[in-house]
Amino acid sequence: MKRRASVVVIGGGISGLSIAYNLAKLGLDDVVVVEKRYLGSGSTGKCGTGIRQQFTTKEHIMLMKESVKLWEKLSEELGRDVGYRQTGYLWLIRDEEELSVFKENVNIQNKYGVPSRIINVEEALEIVPYLNPEVFIAAAFCHKDGKASPFKTVNAYYEAGRRLGVEYYTYTEVRGMVVENGRIRKVITSRGDIETDKVVNVAGAGARKIGEMVGVNIPVENYRHHIVVTEPFQEFVKPMVIRGKLYFTQTERGGIIGGIDMPEKPDQPLRARLDFLEVFATNLVKVMPILKNVNILRQWAGYYVMTKDNHPILGEAEKLEGFYIAAGFSGHGFMMGPIVGKLIAELIMYGKPSVPIDALRLERFERGELIYERAVIG
């Protein structure tokens, strides 16, 4: 294990791997990723795989516009297929009240160059046959949204980073950090110490704890969400379909994957719930009745790391030089992986990212400068 690194990236999910890869791509040597279990074992490996630009704030829309551009070329850039498919997101609108909200959302999205539009029931049925036309009156669709494979993406970033000299220490837990004169000096891990003056806290559900080690308050909360996958079929659900808090799509393998919001207190252990299956099944079958007798293969739980305004925390902590944060992705971290990696790497190397992320700094919470995102799925 290295005794000294230029940057220690804490967290081996898509964001951490993307940051490490981008740093190495910009020419930085001695980049190290420390992961307490295996790469992708946190929220990345448990997510619903969706990639969308249909958000309601300028910050999210701009970030995801850029992220999608990167996703479109990611397999080529990393030299390995990440399973990216631009099959769209189809948001089913239930009533007139929702329709006016979605019309507003689509306006904002169009204003920033995202080609979403309101379509009618017939058009929606052409995109996803077998939908129950009685449970929605219109839909919002963006053909440039899509999905990818979390596992293939993790592997691709890992290998590409490795080729550029990034080193990865898995099953290695960060136990503390040494700070002297307002600067980081070293990271203490379960397998030894690493001297460095730059740390990226991209530890997902562990981000708050990492912040506490250096007296930086990272106001995120870990909420357990549930997800399920069915037996495989030939492809018949191309986009991500959403209705209220229910979402579902089809994996590469052919299983229907999806989830729905369940009442949960923060910090629950990641155990599955049986009532989730009942609630999900009831709601899914309402939207797509042919799935009534389909077999469920597997269910699992993962964390949405939530901030008060559902936007991530990106940037360097003002009170601790060299302590960078990319956390609190509130259920949409996977899709942001490519752009977050690029921007944090630029911030570290040049002091300034190519897309402004000032509004998403940590300090916005204590200054009351929150930006509220309304469209959180699942």
Partner 1 sequence: MTSSRIIQHPILNFERGKKKVLYFEDKPVEVYENESVLAALYANGVRIFSRSRVLKRPRGAFCLIGKCSSCLMEADRVPNTRICITLTKDLREVRYQESSASPPKTSFFIAKKPEEIPTDILVIGGGPAGLYAAMYASKYGANVVLVDENPTIGGQLVKQTHKFFGSKDLYSGIRGFEIAKKLAKILHKRKNIKILTNTSVFGLYSGKLAGAYHLRRKQLLKIKAKQITVATGASERFLVFENNDLPGVMGAGAAQTLMNVYGVKPGEKALMVGAGNVGLIVSYQLIQAGVKVVAIVEAMPRIGGYLVHAAKVRRLGVPIYTSHTIKSAHGKEKVEGATIIALDKEFREIPGTEKYLEVDLICLAVGLNPYSQLLSQAGCEMVYIPELGGLVPKRTRYQETTISGIYVAGDVSGIEEASTAMLEGGIAGISAALKIIGNNEKALNEREEMLEKLEKIRAGRFFERIRKGLRKVLIDERRGNSTY
Kindly state the smallest distance separating residue 96's Cβ from partner 1, in Å: 31
Q: Is the CB of 281 or the CB of 370 nearer to partner 1?
A: 281
* Total residues belonging to the chain: 378
Total Cβ atoms within 10 A of residue 25 = 17
307-310, Cβ contacts within 8 angstroms, sequence gap of 24 or more: 307/219, 307/220, 307/365, 308/219, 308/365, 308/370, 309/364, 309/370, 309/371, 309/372, 309/373, 310/372, 310/373, 310/376
- Please count the CA atoms within 13 angstroms of the CA of 130 that sit on its side-chain side: 12
Q: Is the CB of 277 or the CB of 370 nearer to partner 1?
A: 277
Please list, in sequence order, all residues whose beta carbon lies within 8 angstroms of the beta carbon of residue 324, skipping any fewer than 6 positions away: 198, 199, 200, 201, 315, 316, 317, 344, 347, 348
Q: Is the CB of 125 or the CB of 277 nearer to partner 1?
A: 277
Q: Is the CB of 130 or the CB of 350 nearer to partner 1?
A: 130
Candidates 59-67, 116-124, 168-176, 284-292: pick the segment binding partner 1 (CB under 8 A): 284-292
- Which tokens belong to 6? 């230029």
Paired strand residues for 242: 91, 247
Question: What are the helix (H) ranges across the chain?
Answer: 14-25, 58-78, 96-111, 121-127, 150-163, 207-213, 274-287, 337-350
Kindly state the smallest distance separating residue 190's Cβ from partner 1, in Å: 20
Kindly state whether residue 171 participates in binding partner 1, applying the rule CB under 8 A: no
Candidates 3-11, 102-110, 283-291, 318-326: pick the segment binding partner 1 (CB under 8 A): 283-291
Of the candidates 108, 279, 291, 370, which one interacts with partner 1 according to CB under 8 A? 291
Of the candidates 299, 321, 359, 370, which one interacts with partner 1 according to CB under 8 A? 299
- Which tokens belong to 341? 């990696």
Candidates 46-54, 154-162, 266-274, 334-342: pick the segment binding partner 1 (CB under 8 A): 266-274
3-state SS class at 247: strand
Kindly state whether residue 279 participates in binding partner 1, applying the rule CB under 8 A: no
Kindly state whether residue 130 participates in binding partner 1, applying the rule CB under 8 A: yes
Of the candidates 290, 318, 350, 372, which one interacts with partner 1 according to CB under 8 A? 290
Kindly state whether residue 121 participates in binding partner 1, applying the rule CB under 8 A: no
Total Cβ atoms within 10 A of residue 86 = 17
Q: Is the CB of 212 or the CB of 235 nearer to partner 1?
A: 235
Of the candidates 232, 245, 355, 376, which one interacts with partner 1 according to CB under 8 A? 232
Kindly state whether residue 233 participates in binding partner 1, applying the rule CB under 8 A: yes
Find, among 142, 85, 65, 57, the residue nearest to 338 by Cα.
65
Of the candidates 294, 349, 355, 371, which one interacts with partner 1 according to CB under 8 A? 294
Q: Is the CB of 117 or the CB of 273 nearer to partner 1?
A: 273
DSSP 81: -
Residue type, 281: A
Kindly state whether residue 219 participates in binding partner 1, applying the rule CB under 8 A: no
Kindly state whether residue 134 participates in binding partner 1, applying the rule CB under 8 A: no
Kindly state the smallest distance separating residue 367's Cβ from partner 1, in Å: 40
Kindly state whether residue 265 participates in binding partner 1, applying the rule CB under 8 A: no
Give contact residues for partner 1 (rule: CB under 8 A): 130, 231-234, 236, 254, 271-274, 277-278, 289-295, 299
